[in-house]
A = this chain, B = another copy of it.
Amino acid sequence: MGQDVDQGFTVDFKFPVYFTQNIFSVQNSIFSDAVRRLEPDKRHRVLFIIDENVIQSHPDLLSSLERYFSSNPEFLELISPPIPVPGGESVKNDFKHVLRLAEEISERGVDRQSFLAVIGGGAVLDMACFVSAICHRGIRTIRIPTTVLSQADSGVGVKNGINGFGKKNFFGTFVPPFAVINDSLFIDTLSHRDKLAGLAEAVKVALIRDREFFGYIEQNAALLATADRDAMNYHIRRTAELHLQHIRTSGDPFEFGSARPLDFGHWVAHKMESMTEHSLRHGEAVAIGVAVDSVYSMRMGFLQAAETERILCLLEHLGFTLW
């Protein structure tokens, strides 16, 4: 028969990641800029999906959101009141959350010309972005992460997912967001424990990508352990930048190959999270995972004892319990 075809094409993915404060203040044009960036003159329809935990800790969020939209009637339209979804890992454990959200998207007439905007922690972003990825073959989505970990790490990446058949992220896709907006106000209202939990990913990405940043974390460990505002903001931005840089320059953003350096420390972390039924935060589990993988690297001869000691010391200085 012959005449086989070698099909091939490239797809360009581009999305801005903004760092801002008070995203829905009427003076702040970033959300509007993000939605309008490809079609500045159109009126855009947006449906919000919001983490219930965020709604609870930000009682004025919904009214400022409405005010923001009504002050931009020419370009922005709320499709309906926001859809609240339960926060935390449990929202990733049952496919019924996916189908319920998909049904709401269908009922509200959200199409490929509309936008979804998701406000929440990593679990809510993972679940809602999975839904947006599989409805209408992908709805344009603005991610607005609200935790240290999601602002610094998962929220700025290209993955989504939910758990299935007892396996972490069994379901999921690689779909870049339309834009990411990191608002530091959401970080201010977190508990001390939640602020610290995010530091583990910073240590991980610094170890893999940036010796200088590792030095910064070491020098500022005491300050970071108190969750100092400026130090937190700096480490979130730097961790996010390194994560973005890794995806951009790895040559394999959708992980077609088998190398997954960003998973350093994550095998142990995922196991520990399920073993403790998520009473351990993801970041706390990652800290232990990084410690275990470092000791393992030392035993295998890839890392010297002094270097391993330095990593373990830093994690403890930052306030993590490793044993």
Contact = CB atoms under 8 A, between A and B. Distances in A.
- Is chain A's binding surface mostly helix, strand, loop or mixed? mixed
Nearest first, the 9 closest Cβ-Cβ pairs linking A and B are: A106-B165, A8-B14, A5-B17, A1-B19, A137-B172, A10-B10, A4-B18, A9-B248, A7-B244
Given A165-B107, A167-B106, A137 B4 contact: no
A276 B171 CA distance: 34
B137 A161 contact: yes
Among A1, A5, A173, the one with the most B-chain Cβ atoms within 10 Å of its Cβ is: A5
Interface stretch (A57-65, A80-88, A95-103): A95-103
B8 A240 contact: no
A21 B18 CA distance: 54
A13 interface: yes
How many copies the complex holds: the figure is 2
Contacts of A12: 8-10
A135 interface: yes
Interface stretch (A66-74, A190-198, A218-226, A251-259): A251-259
A14 B7 contact: yes
B103 A172 contact: no
A6 B164 CA distance: 33
Given A135-B170, A165-B107, A241-B5, A113 B10 contact: no
A21 B7 contact: no
A112 B263 CA distance: 15
